[in-house]
Structure 1
Amino acid sequence: QVPTELWAQQGLRKLYLSDAGLREVPDELAELQHLRTLALDGNELMEVPEAVCDLPHLAHLYLGRNGLQGLPPAFAQLQSLRCLWIEGNFLAHFPRALLQLPELRSLQLGDNRLCRLPSALPRMAGLRGLWLYGNRFQEFPPVLLRMDHIRVLDLDRNRIASFPDLTGLASLRLLSYDHNPVRQPPCVGDEVQLVGDGAQEYMEARQERLQSQQRQEEEEEGTEAAPVSLED
């Protein structure tokens, strides 16, 4: 149980209740209106406590390793939310409420039961990091090709046999595709770090190619340079 005197600390900004064996959270949580970080991971919550949705300044929320199967519609009220970790739950469908959180930057959905993503995902224009490892994707979700601002994408431990050309994702900097039945690394931009089978060889070959191109360009610039006159 959470000590009742905790709810009297209404100026509290961070609250960590991880691995506390909680099955529910008192409604008094909503009185902590200045809360910006809330950790409820590693508990026994079967649904998101209603009071959580009444915290207007909440920016970081950790709900991983509970028994959640979805998020309530009221979750969309968390308009200040920037980081949500909800890994290790039982989500079979992408929570629709998340589509109404355009400022969310980091979304951790690993180790759930997802097999598809909604076509409206690009509404989440602020999203920079998306972790989808350990789900049930059998193909690369095509909607991800429209996530122009995504920087980190983790699809480790799924069932994806092939990847489309990802060079159009100009903001992408890290892609993890390890433990998928792919035969070769995905085709990505030159700035992207890869994690997966064959990634090291792919990046080494890319580095050699880029260095060769750079040498060639330098040589061409030297050839095209106008001769310097040494006349008096």
Structure 2
Amino acid sequence: VGSATSSDIITPTPHCQIASTCVFTIRRHPNGDPVLDLSYRKFKRLPSRVSALLHLEKLYVCGNRLRTLPDSVSRLQGLRILALDFNKMEDVPAAVCQLTKLTRLYLGSNRLMTLPPELRNLQSLRCLWVESNYIQSFPRELYDLPCLKSLQIGDNRLKTLPSDLCRMEALRGLWLYGNRFDTFPKVLLRMEGLEILDLDRNKISEFPSLKRLRSLRLFSYDHNPVDCPPRVGDEVLVVGEGAAEFLEQREAKNERLRKAAEEEAEESALAGEE
């Protein structure tokens, strides 16, 4: 878990901390995308000239002191990635919900308690990170995002999930670690498209069999008060207390089955020669 900032971002110059006097240049990522990184500049407001960069496709403003964004940001209609992690936002800025070409939105480590209904305007959104906030109820606005594949909502205050969460059919990765679940949310058993499910650091004492989740490839349950690993399909990597022993036993069992199959095949071949 961490900031959305990544090594492929080109950092503009200079290292100015005063928004009203900041001078910066836009550079291009090697793949040609116009990128601006204004992270960790101690900004309390976004420099006004950013809104004039109409060709901008990636904007990183992590680790500042922003409480909102100006409405003029909505002019950046080419923006595909917006990172606002580690700021002081109590609400999602209205301008963000007008950036309809966004595919990735990072809002982790702010002060959000809810998400606005207007978020459903982001019909191209594929990845949403809202970890380390104060969200108490699952945001149903996300149901209306048909392309959303990755939802990072760990370290919030969720106790339950809505029974119709399975409407999010495109979802492939769901991070729910560090919330307040004391029972396994049964609706997850109906989300057969999930490939990654993270329930670390909750208070779940018993897990059902997850073998029906045929697409699942990674399941993390560490730091829950369970006695043994949950049952999962043979292709699933599990992470948690007792998982290493479980995986060793599973591999040993699979190896025995492989050897038995090979021996049976050899015996059949010999019988055929006779």
TM interval, shorter chain, is: over 0.9
**Unmatched 5+ residue regions in structure 1?**
none
Matches within 5 A, 1:18-33: 18-33=62-77
Task: Tell me whether 1:214 sits opposite 2:265 in the alignment.
Answer: no
Q: Which residue of 2 aligns with 1:165?
A: 209
Q: Distance in 1 between matches of 2:206 and 2:147?
A: 31
Normalised by the size of structure 2, how large is the TM-score?
A: 0.82
Q: Aligned letter for 1:181? A: P
Q: Aligned letter for 2:246? A: Y
Report deviation, 1:79.
Answer: 0.6
Q: Which residue of 1 aligns with 2:272?
A: 227
Report deviation, 1:227.
Answer: 3.0
Aligned pair count?
Answer: 229
Report deviation, 1:11.
Answer: 0.8
Q: Deviations over 1:94-121 (max 9, x none)?
A: 0010111121010000100001111121
**Unmatched 5+ residue regions in structure 2?**
1-44
- The structure showing larger relative contact order (alpha-carbon pairs under 8 Å, at least 6 residues apart) is 1
Q: Which residue of 1 aligns with 2:228?
A: 184
Q: Distance in 2 between matches of 1:71 and 1:162?
A: 31
Q: Distance in 2 between matches of 1:97 and 1:139?
A: 24
1:126 corresponds to which of 170, 179, 197: 170
Q: Which residue of 2 aligns with 1:152?
A: 196
The two structures, once aligned, show a CA RMSD in angstroms of 0.9
Q: Distance in 2 between matches of 1:167 and 1:3?
A: 51
Q: Aligned letter for 2:90? A: M
Q: Distance in 1 between matches of 2:60 and 2:200?
A: 28
Matches within 5 A, 1:18-57: 18-57=62-101
Q: Aligned letter for 2:177? A: Y
Task: Tell me whether 1:97 sits opposite 2:141 in the alignment.
Answer: yes
Q: Deviations over 1:9-38 (max 9, x none)?
A: 101000011111001100011000010000
- Indicate if the aligned counterparts of 1:177 and 1:195 stay in contact, CA closer than 8 A: yes
- Indicate if the aligned counterparts of 1:39 and 1:63 stay in contact, CA closer than 8 A: yes
Task: Tell me whether 1:72 sits opposite 2:104 in the alignment.
Answer: no
Normalised by the size of structure 1, how large is the TM-score?
A: 0.97
Q: Aligned letter for 2:186? A: P
**What secondary structure is seen at the aligned counterpart in 2 of 1:227?**
helix
Runs of 4+ residues over 4 Å off in structure 1: none
Q: Deviations over 1:80-137 (max 9, x none)?
A: 0000000000000000101111210100001000011111211111111100000000
Q: Deviations over 1:137-180 (max 9, x none)?
A: 00000000001010110000000000001111000011110000
Seq. identity, %: 55
Q: Aligned letter for 1:153? A: L
**What secondary structure is seen at the aligned counterpart in 1 of 2:272?**
coil
**What secondary structure is seen at the aligned counterpart in 2 of 1:84?**
strand
Q: Distance in 1 between matches of 2:80 and 2:109?
A: 21
Q: Distance in 2 between matches of 1:209 and 1:66?
A: 46
- Indicate if the aligned counterparts of 1:64 and 1:85 stay in contact, CA closer than 8 A: yes
